[in-house]
Structure 1
Amino acid sequence: MPSTHQPNPLPTNTTHNVSFSWTPPITTTIPTTLPIVTNTTINPIVAVADTFINNLLDKIPLPRWAIYTIFVAGALLILICCLCICIKCCCKGKKKKRQKKDENINMKGVNGKTTMALVQPDAADVDYGSTKKQRGRLLYSLEYNGALAELIVGIKKADSLMAMDLGGSSDPYVKVYILPEKSKTCETKVFRNTLNPIFNEQFQFQISKSSLLKSTAVMKVFDFNRFSKHDIIGELRVQLCQVDWNHVIEEWQDLAEPAKFEEEDLGEICFSLRYVPTAGKLTVVILEAKNLKGMDMGGASDPYVKVQLALDKKKWKKRKTSIKKKTLNPYYNESFTFDVSFEQIQRVNLVVSVWDHDAVTRNDAMGKIFLGCDATGNQLRHWADMLSNPRRPVAQWHSLLSAEQVNSSLTLKKKIPLPF
């Protein structure tokens, strides 16, 4: 019987080979998990900061894009500020270098004998004590009529006047009087915002031939200011004894620095005017005065103000303020209303005078001013401003003149006119 041969079964160690073949997948998974573990533990501070910032942004009741926009705008603002500071510092450094360079240049002009080249005055001190200050020039004319004993002073025009206002211009006018009497003072009209005004005005002064040769014609150019003292630009003084009176004199002259030796400052007064044509009411409010002349032994005064109306150069109506004791800068703020028709207002002059009250002796006149149809210069300007602005008060400061000057110009009569 034939023998049957069966194949030997697989050795047991083959099973171990099969089971060993499953180990590689186990080893390959180890490196994939290691980086994950190490990445979460390398920067813990960054993770905490991110978490803190996110929590902080979540608490702000704004969308993220708005928050980012605010941050960017703030950063730009800080950057711009830093740049401005840097630029300013650089400019200061350059300025100091230029100053040092200029000083070095000026040092080269020193020759050991004088230090004149080292004197560099400031801009505010350039004209101090200098007679070469450019104040402009004035065209005037002089004519004398021997038959009438009359001197005619013409103020034609001015050119290249010195600017006195902040805007680089002036409001010029000219004041004319004759020394030494100074019995009459005339003023031209005020021209606004110009350094080259054309006046074309003439003024007459009664003076004899003998007095003419001892007199001086003074023409002062001022800058008009409504609420402060008028600034003087310059002046001309013409010795009349040196003039050839055989013909009319007309010439240009440069304005000089004003002299103050003959000026008597009587102070200033501020008042407002208001006229209502429909009601025929003229209201004068005496506001205040300042720098008045001391009339009493102690150097003070007891001033009050008299307000008077003259119609057709005849005394008409008058009122007066209360008395302020022992002061040179009184404050009144007192109002007076007069009935003046529209027809009368064109023939009325207003006289405002300041007096020193004395209980025993006669009251002394301290200063005077008049406005109206016969006034000139600043007084006429104030009166015209009142008429051109009905129902609106117009206030202005005025320099007081002596009573003699005002009386000679106005020549009032004592007769009171009949009522209309």
Structure 2
Amino acid sequence: MVNITIGKELEGLTTTTKNMAYSTLLLAVGLSLGSFLLLLIGVYIYFLWRRKGQKQCKEYVSTTTLPSCTTPILLTQRSRNGPDEIPFLLPPRLKSSPRKREREEKKMGGMELINTHRGSLTVESWYPVGTLREDLYWVPDVSDASPRPDRAVQLCFSVAFRHDNEQLLITLLHLSNFPACFHGNVTLAELRLLPDNRRRHQAKARCEGCNLEFNDSFVFQVSSVCVSQCVLSVCVLSVDQGGGRHTVGRVLFPLEGQLGEGGRLLWKDLETSYNNQFSELGEMQVSLNYCPSLQRLTVARLKARGLQSHTDTGVYFQVSLHIHSQLIKSQRTPVVSGEAEPDFSNKMTFKLRPSQVDKACLCLELFGQGPAPIGVVMLGPLMYARGPQLHHWTDMLNTPNELVKQWHGLGRPT
């Protein structure tokens, strides 16, 4: 009895397993057929889309017409891989009339037109692409320019302003009637755009003698609003064999009203200082240094020479720092007597912030026994000084790591 029951259960399990296997097989066959049908449908849709695109392209090519004045360079070209490739059309080229071709040949001085071959593409006529802007390539014409017949030291330079990119173009050309006492030295020219002394350029003369050549161009980036308020400063220096720098003279050229269309060629006299260094009151030597990081102005190595009197009774220097009309600090040296060239070896320091440098000035006064000064020298920026005094102050600001030494003629106190 038990064996009969077990046999029936085994027959039931075998039937169930067979049904599951048949179901799995039918499911796999159905999925395969469905995937194959989807693939066929996709291929059919692709060929329909491709045939439709080729038909539209053929209709476009057949209906496209070119102007009567043009001829196609290359018509449709088919690939060798298949008969139904999409055609393409290269751009047309203009055909010039015989009269126009004759005018072009006359304009080009009888030159043949350019023939450029690139495969089946042939270009047989000129195609203008634009014109050159002459103001960007302006070069000063110095063929007819010549200095005046007098013996003044004159500087030849050109000034041009490019409004598009806001650039001031300065070209140094010649320096005529150069003094003979500087012929053996190296001649430099320093360009600055005042009142901003931080931007400067330097040029070196290419030869020696009475007439010097520079032929150097420099660019200052300045806005068109501010350029009319600027002053071009060109300072001519002579450097001796020992490295000493001597100021020959300078040119101050205000730009207001001087910048028209194109450029200008100018001859300007140098405000010479080599023959004005000597003063009937005498001369003084001073060394200056300014350290922006320490905010410290140093005055050292004061000397005097050529004094006509007061040497027996004694002289001394009083150095005062002013900001505008306000006296900030005043110091004086010890009295030195009995010397033709008194030397004051002490050093003076003044507190001066970088923001106050363009507003400050130094007043150096030489005193004798009387209450009034014998002579005075004012050193400072363009607001207070000119010539060697201004150049000395500017050199001090440009070389913060060294003492800048220079002689100055004593002026009469006001």
TM-score (norm 2): 0.39
More strand by percentage: 2
Which structure is higher in RCO with an 8 Å CA cutoff and minimum separation 6? Answer: 1
